[in-house]
Amino acid sequence: MEVTLLNINSLGYCLRQSIVSIYRNFWLVLVTAGIIAVSLSVFGGLLLIAVNTGQIIRNVESNVEIAIFLYDEANAEEIQFKLDNLVGVRNSTFVPKEQGLEEFRKSMNMAIPLDGLSGKNNPLPDLFRVKAVRAEIVPELAREIQEFPGVEYVEYGEKVIDILNRVTGWLNTVFLVISSLLALGAIFLIMTTIRISVLSRQEEIGIMKYLGASNSFIRFPFILEGMVIGWLGTLSAALVLGVVYYRLVVLLKQEALAFFVQPVTDMEILLPLLIGLLVIGTLLGGLGSMVSIHRHLKV
C-alpha cells in the first residue's frame, strides 16, 4: 500500500479548503485583515510624510543662492557663459550694481534717500546670483567659481546650508528609526494576530496530524488564507491612505501654503509605494501564517 504525501487531488482539496475556511472564519479573517490594515496605514502614512518632508527640504535647498561679487573690470558675459556650462548650476542671474542698490534701498526702507549713491557714487559691485541643483554641492561650487577670473568674492548662506544639511541628516535618522520601529511593530502585530488565529485552530491542526496529514497539506490552506487576509488588509490600508492623502492634497492646493508645501502627487513615486505595500502585506500574511503554524506542526 504505497502512499504519496501530496498529489494533484490534495492540491485541489487545499485550494477549495482555503476558500471554505475564509468563508467560515469570516469574523476572524476580518479582524486579522483589520489589524494588518491599521498597521500598514500607520506605516504607509509615515512613508508619505517622509516623502513629502524630503520634497519640502529639497524645495528649500534649491532656493539657496550663491552670490558672486565681481571686480569692476570683470567680463560679465564670459562669466555668465562659464556659469551656464558649470555642472551643478541650476540657473544664474546677473545683477548689475544699479539693481543691487535698488534692492538695498527697498530692503532698508523706500523712504530713506540714497540718491547720492547712484551712478558713479554707487559703492556696490556687480554680482551674479546662482542657484545650485542640490544644497550639498553648494560649497564645492562656490570654491570652483571663486577661481574664475574677474570674481572678487563668492558668498553663500554657509550657515543655512549647514543647518539644512544637518536637519536633513537628522530627519533621515529620525525617520529611519521611527519607520524601523513601526515596521517591527507592524510585523510583530501581524504575526501575533495570525498566531492567535492559528492558536484557536491548534486542536484542528493536531487532529489533522493524527489523521496522517503532511505538513504541506495542513500548511497550504493556512498560507493561502494568510495571503488573502494580508492582501485584503493592505488594500484597505491603501484605500484609507489614498482617500486621506487625496483630501490633504486638495486642502493644501487651496491654501496659499501650496507654494511652500507642495505635496508629492507624482504617480511615479506613489505607485511603487502602493505596489510595495500590497506586496509586503500579501507576503506578511502568507509568511506570517507559515511561521505561526510551524510550531503546531510537530507530529
Query: Can you tell me which of 13, 22, 25, 34 binds its own copies, judged by CB under 8 A?
Result: 34
- Bridge partners of 155, per DSSP, are 67
- Residue 51 in contact with its own copies, rule: CB under 8 A: no
20-59: contacts with other proteins (CB under 8 A): 21, 24-25
Query: Can you tell me which of 26, 81, 246, 260 binds its own copies, judged by CB under 8 A?
Result: 260
Which span (3-11, 75-83, 186-194, 281-289) binds its own copies, by CB under 8 A?
A: 186-194
The residues near 10 (Cβ < 8 Å, ≥ 6 apart) are: 217
Question: What are the grid coordinates assigned to 285, written together?
Answer: 500574511
93-112: contacts with its own copies (CB under 8 A): 104, 108-109, 111-112
**Which of other proteins, its own copies, none sits in contact with 24, Cβ below 5 to 8 A by type?**
other proteins
- Residue 276 in contact with other proteins, rule: CB under 8 A: no
* Pick from 48, 179, 71, 177: nearest CA to 128: 71
Burial zone of 124 (CB within 10 Å; 0-12 exposed, 13-18 middle, 19+ buried): middle
Which helix (H) or strand (E) covers residue 95, if one does? strand 89-95
- Residue 294 in contact with other proteins, rule: CB under 8 A: no
- Residue 12 in contact with other proteins, rule: CB under 8 A: yes
Q: How far apart are CA 204 and CA 213, in angstroms?
A: 11
Which span (35-43, 135-143, 226-234, 284-292) binds its own copies, by CB under 8 A?
A: 35-43
Cβ-contact 90, 131 below 8 angstroms: yes
186-205: contacts with other proteins (CB under 8 A): 201, 203-204
- Bridge partners of 69, per DSSP, are 127, 153
Query: Can you tell me which of 125, 139, 150, 206 binds its own copies, judged by CB under 8 A?
Result: 125
